[in-house]
Amino acid sequence: MIKKKIKNFYESLLFEKAVGFSVVFLIYKFLFPIQESPVSIIINEFLAIHILYFWMKYLPGKITVSRKTIPKIYQNIFFQTLLLLFLSLIFLNFIPNSKFYDAGFLREVGLLFISSIFLVLIIYIYAGFTKLFFYKQKPNAVSYFRVMVIFTLIIGVMNAFDPFVNSAAETGEGFFNILSLGYLIGWKNDFENIFQIALIIILVVNAFRVSWIAILNKKQKKTLAGLSFILAIVFIVLVVMFFENNKITKTAYLFSPTVFITSVTVLLYGAVYSTVVFFTAVFHIPTAEEADRATAEYSSLLEFGRMMSRIWDFEDLAVTILKLSQKISNADSVWLAIKKDDFELYTLGVGENNAASFTRKFLKKNKVNTAVVVRGISLSRDNQFKETLISPIKIKGKHTGYLFSAFKNSEETDEDLMRTISGLMDYVALAIENSELAKKSIENERMEKELELAREIQMKIIPDKLPAVKGIKVEARFIPAFEVGGDYYDFFNLGGKKIFVIADVSGKGMEASYIMAEMKGVLETLSAVSRDLKEMIIKANEIFVKRLSRKHFITAVFGEIDNETGIVKYFRLGQNFPLLLQKNGAEYIQSAGLGLGITASDKFLKNLEEVTVNLSENKRIIFYTDGVPEAKNDKDEEFGYDKLSQIADATAEKSMDEVMEQIITEISLYSQKKMQSDDITILMFEKKQTEK
Amino acid sequence: MEGFNAKIREADGVVILSLGGTLDAHTTGELEKVFEELISQGKYKIVVDFAELNYISSAGLGVFMAYVETMRENGGDIKFAALKENVFNVFDLLGFPVLYEFFDSVEKAADRFGEK
């Protein structure tokens, strides 16, 4: 009963109590500026600890932490700390010592005022750190954090009651010299020593809670690296200031030893934490594994595809779906509701029983035909969700499944996420249909579904429109084979230049489409972090040698367009020789170059040959995949290279659109009696005629 | 449609693997089986005779990539001999001659094993 009351006291009306205790403390301080008797020390520290407690509990609750606000939280810590440093320097240098030691009413008011401002800043900084500390941490983080707080309090209270401290505080000399050394090396008794060492250890351990850095994008990480570097230095300067015998430490000690020790701990934590943040941010910037959502999405698709062809059991499939969508959305809990007789639930991060009754009720009451965000859902005491994204899954034309992604924090769902999850749900729908077919063991239909999925992935990966490049005309055609052949083309930006890639991954069907999905993810990331095209190619090769099985490889051309000069630079990596239409006829340009993913040895680098073509001096350049020359007629003869160059010659004066039509028509005619067995991709560039 | 066939003979501790017909996505499985069988018998020195092979697709190339390293790790190799021009061009385009050894006759390829 009493226990409950006490608990209630410390958990309700936080703001009112924080203000209340602060006011009482100020009045008390006016009446008894210096504490001499044990009783007055007890009252002083009792009030001080309560002020700390209520403000420190109240304030973090006011800060919302989400993907969007995290950089801001760190910025705020930065500015508050700078302000603290600024005020400390003013206090140290601009208040004359004579006034400081001249006891009297004015001095007490002044010191109290300064202490309060310092305290407010320290509490704000603390609140920011708490939020960062707890972002996406497991429940055990709470106990780690509590240990840190308890140790701080113990050391603070020990300081408050040390008779030596008190006599020194009274005379204002002697003890501070010892304190400065004593805090670290332990100057009182072994008992306190142990707590100090333990506090420092736990403080360092706790400083490694930096999982929030992973969600930042590259630019934010760069800013963070800068801020944390400065911040680490500022915190160290502040810590040193707070260790020395000066006006600040004396003032703080007079105010309350517990508050002083707490402040030092916060500053010390800030110094260690900022250092950790700095190194984490720096090491995160240039890696190819950067946790870009785009990469996560594509590699998830890849994983998904792999699972799909193996999973027959619906429950396994559900688990896969849940894990992947959680990986993409970062949701705290996800669950899947599939309509059978009633809604059947599959859950991750939340109990099935907890989610079931809400979900069934909700879905019976509401029709969810497009993705919606529902705010404020309470499933149980531990499962309070501020935002829940509900994405419908259309199976066989009907909405019979729903994915719930629930977030404990607000502002986690945005348009991007909704689109990404909806995209994933299209595949999930196919996967569910697929597994249902499997159950009925209709092998043919399953194969067809699998192909359909492979084709959908391919179509999603290939850009749906051509990029606008100033001064250069771009034309592309892609004709998929019935069985996905693994062709892929794409455009990226790298250091202000337009990069184009035309590739053919070995393998067919699902297998090929996973590799393509992976390739797009890898290239998207690499184009953001590479210095130039060559570096991008070398890194891509290293990744593919590792990622692809021995029998798989990728042939490609990677090129770069300079729209001002009309110069195209490219590297041919095992793909067919490009066809250059010069003023006096078409010619295949031969160059060295190994395919991607074959070898990581220096042979790859040695054979990397850059070819430069000036479009101002030539008519156009044609890149294509092996589906063009290897198209077969009914006698199994190949279309060949000569026919292609003849068409290019004959159509020299036509528009690229017409050239494309001509090539494709001729290939279709040639292989009309044969099913197209490989994808066909053609990419063309020419310089725009400057209008006069 | 033309089929695919593979014949094995041995000379001085070197396996001569003669291929014929078409090697594409549909026939690679047969060739994989042959290589698996050779590895299980501890035979790693292999000369592939391409004289009768009329066509190879990229899936066909993959088979050689998959097994060359295994042979090399065990002190052997796969050497490529007597390729028709169109077949060689497929290997050449991908840069295979940089990584693996090509010969115009089976004898020269087999002798190469003896040199080391």
Tell me: pLDDT of B2 over 50: yes
Tell me: pLDDT of A174 over 60: no
Q: Say which CATH topology domain B4-111 has.
A: Transcription Regulator spoIIAA (3.30.750)
Letter for the amino acid at A628? V
Summarised one tens digit per residue, pLDDT across range B52-91 is: 999 898 888 989 998 998 999 999 999 999 999 989 999 9
Q: How far apart are CA A628 and CA A134, in angstroms?
A: 56
**Structure confidence at residue A439 (pLDDT):** 62
The stretches of A309-442 forming alpha helices (DSSP H) are 314-329, 352-365, 415-439
* pLDDT-based confidence at residue A680 (cuts at 50, 70, 90): very high
State whether residue A636 is helix, strand or coil. coil
Q: How big is the A-B interface in CB pairs under 8 Å?
A: 55
User: Which residues from chain A sit within 8 angstroms of residue B99, using beta carbons?
Assistant: 594, 598-599, 603
Q: From the list B55, B69, B94, which residue is nearest A595 (CB)?
A: B94
Tell me: pLDDT of A684 over 90: yes
Tell me: pLDDT of A166 over 80: no
Tell me: pLDDT of A180 over 60: no
**Structure confidence at residue A518 (pLDDT):** 84
Structure tokens at A647: 């068409």
**Structure confidence at residue A632 (pLDDT):** 87
* Smallest Cα distance from A552 to chain B, Å: 6
Structure tokens at A467: 């990029």
Summarised one tens digit per residue, pLDDT across range A206-224 is: 888 877 776 776 677 888 8
Mean pLDDT in residue range A453-473? 85
Higher pLDDT, A172 or A574: A574
Q: Is B11 on the interface with A (CB under 8 A)?
A: no
The CB-side HSE value for A458 (13 A sphere, CA atoms) comes to 28
**Structure confidence at residue A462 (pLDDT):** 87
Least confident of A65-74, A356-365, A467-476, B33-42: A65-74
Least confident of A79-83, A202-206, A441-445, B111-115: A441-445
Mean pLDDT in residue range B16-32? 90
**Structure confidence at residue A681 (pLDDT):** 94
Cβ–Cβ below 8 Å for A555 and B62: no
pLDDT, averaged across chain A:
81
Cβ–Cβ below 8 Å for B2 and A636: yes
* Smallest Cα distance from B40 to chain A, Å: 19
- Of A248, A276, A267, give the one whose Cα is nearest residue A121: A267
Chain A residues bordering chain B (beta-carbon distance below 8 Å)? 504, 506-508, 549-553, 555, 574-577, 592-595, 598-599, 603, 607, 626, 630, 636
Cβ–Cβ below 8 Å for B98 and A603: yes
**For chain B, which residues make up each domain, given as ranges?**
4-111
**Structure confidence at residue A291 (pLDDT):** 44
Q: How far apart are CA A307 and CA A116, in angstroms?
A: 59
pTM over 0.90: no
Q: From the list B2, B58, B98, which residue is nearest A506 (CB)?
A: B58
Identify the structural domains of chain A with CATH numbers, from first to last.
Answer: 2-284 (no CATH), 293-441 (3.30.450.40), 458-687 (3.60.40.10)
Q: Is B99 on the interface with A (CB under 8 A)?
A: yes
Letter for the amino acid at A163? P
**Structure confidence at residue A288 (pLDDT):** 34
Q: Over pLDDT 90: what percentage of chain A?
A: 21
Higher pLDDT, A302 or A46: A46
Tell me: pLDDT of A301 over 60: yes
Mean pLDDT in residue range A114-131? 87
- Of A146, A252, A253, A271, give the one whose Cα is nearest residue A207: A271
Q: From the list B2, B57, B94, which residue is nearest A555 (CB)?
A: B94
User: Which residues from chain B sit within 8 angstroms of residue A635, using beta carbons?
Assistant: none
Chain B CA closest to residue A592: B95
Mean pLDDT in residue range A383-404? 86
- HEC letters along A68-123: CCHHHHHHHHHHHHHHHHHHHHHHHHHCCHHHHHCCCHHHHHHHHHHHHHHHHHHH
Tell me: pLDDT of A308 over 90: no
Cβ–Cβ below 8 Å for B94 and A594: yes
* Smallest Cα distance from B113 to chain A, Å: 22
Q: Is B25 on the interface with A (CB under 8 A)?
A: yes
